[in-house]
């Protein structure tokens, strides 16, 4: 007998009582069938969910095995690094990494990464390095002649160990540089240069003459400066404005290059200028919005194109006859959209280009293929073949102690901890 359908014809054959009994049995059978069907579906669904969970676990394991940041380089670059006897230190606030690039052989580049919150500018002097991050300035010391607990010399010829930090708050610190023993910082949020004092977050200093007061309003997006023997000499900003965020209105062509301390505008109508530098008796600047490395005549304000590259330029360092230039993809359209560089190239790169400044030709490059879309600062490390930075991500930071050399012989080291010591 079919479980579904109209049972009314059975009423005449079995009467009302018999019909009720048949109908009750039919309903119970239907409920039983539905119960078995739900169990079957749940079993199949459980199998599908189990398979999906397994596939997801495999994909996660594969992702964990793959590097989070990947790069390629031109084949000639390792030999060039070895011939010049240099390494590079690079920051990316987008990927929150400080990286070093070195050439262990004439055919291979090596990258070391350390995690810091939104790292930007770097300043180096003798045996000290300063790093801008999201709300702090970090200070590292160079440790040399480093040995393990067995007395074996470690392979690093440039080992940076973090020693202290100064909390500034989020001042959008960009570039920084030492003038003698004083560290000068571009305080972009307050539209000024500033210094540090242990009693204060920062001490405001020079500001462009069109900025009427110190305020956390990013009025002109002051972003870079350079020094001569007397102190700050030139500075860049994205607009000569005194309104909160006023530089954004004409970001494509409102950039300026100023003389410091007078604030006189040396060059204007620039497309997002960054990183002014004095090198080989010339004034250089990155016109980031057009992907251009320019030289500037400080007297006339005339600019000359050295090279144009397929990216938003940020980060510049010189060594010998070469410029090391950082390229970024345009990730934040609200800040960097609508720039000339977008119409010049079909695709923008995140890379480090090496350019011969005597000819303007591209010599080699490191291109990021995964994980990094924007760079910030680039510093050449002269005479360095194997740099190392002590970071905070691993247990190593808890097991490395550097002590004054006169106490090395008097200390008993824990051999299980594999502590390192300096014998300067």
pLDDT one-digit tens code per residue, 304-362: 999 999 999 999 999 999 999 999 998 666 666 789 999 999 999 999 999 999 999 99
Average pLDDT over the chain reads: 87
* 8-state DSSP, 333: H
The topology under which CATH files domain 71-395 is: Neuraminidase (2.120.10)
Tokens, residue 415: 């051999």
pLDDT digit string (tens) for 234-288?
Answer: 999 999 999 999 999 999 999 999 999 999 999 999 999 999 999 999 999 999 9
Longest distance between any two alpha carbons in the chain, whole Å? 116
Domain ranges of the chain: 1-66, 71-395
- Give which of 250, 247, 234 is closest to 294, Cα–Cα: 234
Residue 394 vs residue 204, higher pLDDT? 204
Cα four-point dihedral sign 296, 341, 116, 318:
negative
DSSP single-letter state for residue 35: H
Tell which wins on pLDDT, 1 or 357. 357
Task: Characterize 12-51 residue by residue with b for buried, 16 or more Cβ atoms within 10 angstroms of its Cβ, and e for exposed.
Answer: eeeeeeebeebeeebeeeeeeeeeeeeeeeeeeeeeeeee
Sign for the pseudo-dihedral over CA of 128, 175, 185, 217: negative
How many angstroms separate the CA atoms of 279 and 357, rounded?
A: 11
Residue 365 pLDDT greater than 80, yes or no: yes
CA angle 366, 370, 375 (to 5 degrees): 55
């Amino acid at each position: 007998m079919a479980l579904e359908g109209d049972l009314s014809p059975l009423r005449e054959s079995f009467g009302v009582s018999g019909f009720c009994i048949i109908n009750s049995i039919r309903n119970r059978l239907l409920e039983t069938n539905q119960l078995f069907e739900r169990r079957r579906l749940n079993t199949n669904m459980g199998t599908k969910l189990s398979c999906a969970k397994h596939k997801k676990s495999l994909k996660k394991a594969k992702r964990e095995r793959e590097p989070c940041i990947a790069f390629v380089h031109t084949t000639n670059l390792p030999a060039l690094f070895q011939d010049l006897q240099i390494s590079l230190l690079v920051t990316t606030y987008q990927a929150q990494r400080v990286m070093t690039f070195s050439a262990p052989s004439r055919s291979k580049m090596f990258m070391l990464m350390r995690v810091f919150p939104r790292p930007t500018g770097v300043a180096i002097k003798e045996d000290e390095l300063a790093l801008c991050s999201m709300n702090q300035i970090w200070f590292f010391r160079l440790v040399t002649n480093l040995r393990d607990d067995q007395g074996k010399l470690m392979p690093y010829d440039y080992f940076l160990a973090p020693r202290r930090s100064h909390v500034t708050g989020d001042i959008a610190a960009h570039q920084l540089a030492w003038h003698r023993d004083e560290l000068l910082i571009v305080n972009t949020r307050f539209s000024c240069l500033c210094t540090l004092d242990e009693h204060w977050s920062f001490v405001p200093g020079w500001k462009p003459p069109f900025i009427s007061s110190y305020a956390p309003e990013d009025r002109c997006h002051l972003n870079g400066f350079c020094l001569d023997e007397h102190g700050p000499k030139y500075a860049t900003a994205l607009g000569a404005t005194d309104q909160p965020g006023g530089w954004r209105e004409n970001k494509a062509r409102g950039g300026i290059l100023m003389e410091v301390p007078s604030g006189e505008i040396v060059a204007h109508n620039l497309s997002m200028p960054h990183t002014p530098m004095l090198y080989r008796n010339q004034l250089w600047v990155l016109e980031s919005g057009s992907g251009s490395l320019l030289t500037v005549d400080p007297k006339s304000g005339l600019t000359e194109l050295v090279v144009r590259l397929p990216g938003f330029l940020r980060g510049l360092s010189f060594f010998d006859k070469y410029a090391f230039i950082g390229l970024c993809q345009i990730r934040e359209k609200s800040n960097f959209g609508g720039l000339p560089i977008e119409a010049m190239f079909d695709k923008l790169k995140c890379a480090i280009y090496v350019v011969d400044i005597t000819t303007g030709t591209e010599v080699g490059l490191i291109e990021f293929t995964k994980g990094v879309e924007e760079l910030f600062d680039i510093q050449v490390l002269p005479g360095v073949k194997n740099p190392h930075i002590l970071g905070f991500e691993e247990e190593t930071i808890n097991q490395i102690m550097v002590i004054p050399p006169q106490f090395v012989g008097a200390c008993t080291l824990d051999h299980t901890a594999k502590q390192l010591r300096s014998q300067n």
